[in-house]
Chain A
Amino acid sequence: EVQLLESGGGLVQPGGSLRLSCVASGFTFSGYSMTWVRQAPGKGLEWVSTITDDGGTTYYPDSVKGRFAISRDNSKNTLYLQMNSLRAEDTAMYFCAKLRDDFWGQGTLVTVSS
C-alpha cells in the first residue's frame, strides 16, 4: 500500500522558517519526481515545487522561488521542503504528492502568524 506521510507543520512567526518532511512507502520512491502542493484555508490548490527523481533538478513558481527549497533523500525515502522568510500568505495545508499516480499525503498544516 502506497503511503505518503507529511510532518513538520505548525505555527511560525512571519519571517521564520520551517522544514516539512514527507516519508514515502509502498513504491520505488527513488524512481519518480515528487511534488509539493498547498491549499490555503478555503482556497484552491497551488503548485509549490517539483523535484526530479535524482534530486538534480528543482522547479518553483515565482511565489516561493528564493524562499523555499525542495530536496530529497532517496536512501530514506523522504521528501523535504525547507521554507524560509515565511509570510502570512504561506499559511496553508501542504501536501506531498506524486500527481501522475494519484499518490497523495493527508497534508501538514502551516500557519504563519504573530
Chain B
Amino acid sequence: QAVVTQEPSLTVSPGGTVTLTCDSSTGAVTSGHSPYWFQQKPGQAPRTLIYDTTKKHSWTPARFSGSLLGGKAALILSGARPEDEADYYCLLSYSGVFWVFGGGTKLTVL
C-alpha cells in the first residue's frame, strides 16, 4: 500500500509563515485524495483542521489554509503563534478504499 511522507520536523518564528507538505509514493496528490490535515497537541486527541484539500471547520483558525502545491498536499500556516506548536498529520484517501496517514510533522514555534 501507499506510503505518505511528511517533513519530520519544521521550525517557524512567531508571526512567520511555514508550509507543511504531504507526498504520496503513488504519484501526485490530487483533490481525489481528499487530503485531510490534523493537529495533535501532547496528551490530546487529534483535531481535524482541514478536509477535502481546502475546507475548514468553524474552529480552524484563519491563519491555516490547505492547498495542492507541486504535486503534494500542503498546509500553510501564516502568522504562526506559540499555540500552533503541535504535531501535524496529513491523511490521504486512495479510491475511497483505504486511507494512509503521513508520519507527521513536529512543528516548533521558536
Contact = CB atoms under 8 A, between A and B. Distances in A.
Interface in B41-60: 45-48, 51-52, 57, 59
A102 B45 CA distance: 10
Nearest to A95: B45
Does more than half of chain B's interface fall in helix, strand or loop, or is it mixed?
strand
Contacts of B36: 99
A102 B47 contact: yes
A100 B47 CA distance: 10
A62 B97 CA distance: 12
Contacts of B100: 47, 61
B98 to A, nearest CB: 6
A106 interface: yes
Contacts of A60: 98
Interface in A58-109: 59-62, 95, 97, 99-102, 104-107
